[in-house]
Structure 1
Amino acid sequence: MTPAPAELICSAKACRRQAESAVIWRNPTLHTADRRKVWLACADHRDHLRDFVQLRGFLLEVIAVEELTEADG
């Protein structure tokens, strides 16, 4: 079962704020095509986390945490 959005905490270092977004990414040299890694992000860290994986070519999408499914781990 996917946790309720209120239980999801931002993945940024030392941040304990509630996550609003999910940065979905994959490193193609390490992960299979069906693997979806998730970093949770509060409003303050969403752009930073997105830009970090996008710069490396790993970004798949950014979605609201309410849109996460079991497939997203």
Structure 2
Amino acid sequence: MFGVHPAPGDAPVCSRKGCRERATWQLLWNNPRIHAPERRKAWASCPEHVTWFEEYLRERGLWKETLPLTAGQPMGAL
């Protein structure tokens, strides 16, 4: 549902199920029950779904940070 990995050079698309819009945000998260504290997973989001993703992750205590996607910087790279 969430892991959309574009081919190198392609713009990422939103990770929301059924959405094919260009992603402009990345939501960094981790599940403390299974991930080391410093690990960050990333979901891509279009502007329409960024609030939905953030609320979903916050309600579960998984959200860490929301950042704009920057050209030339891979998702999850800080």
When the two structures are superposed, what TM-score results if normalisation uses the length of structure 1?
0.83
More RCO (CA 8 Å, sep 6+): 1
Specify whether residues 71 and 15 from structure 1 end up closer, same or farther in structure 2 by C-alpha distance, changes over 3 A only.
Answer: closer
Q: Please give the alpha-carbon distance, in whole angstroms, between the structure 2 residues aligned to 1:68 and 1:42.
A: 18
State percent identity of aligned pairs.
29
Once superposed, what is the RMSD of the aligned Cα atoms? 2.3
Report the structure, 1 or 2, having the larger helix content. 1
When the two structures are superposed, what TM-score results if normalisation uses the length of structure 2?
0.78
Which blocks of at least 5 consecutive residues in structure 2 are unaligned? Answer: 1-7
Which blocks of at least 5 consecutive residues in structure 1 are unaligned? Answer: none
Give structure 1 regions of 4+ aligned residues with deviation exceeding 3 angstroms: 67-71
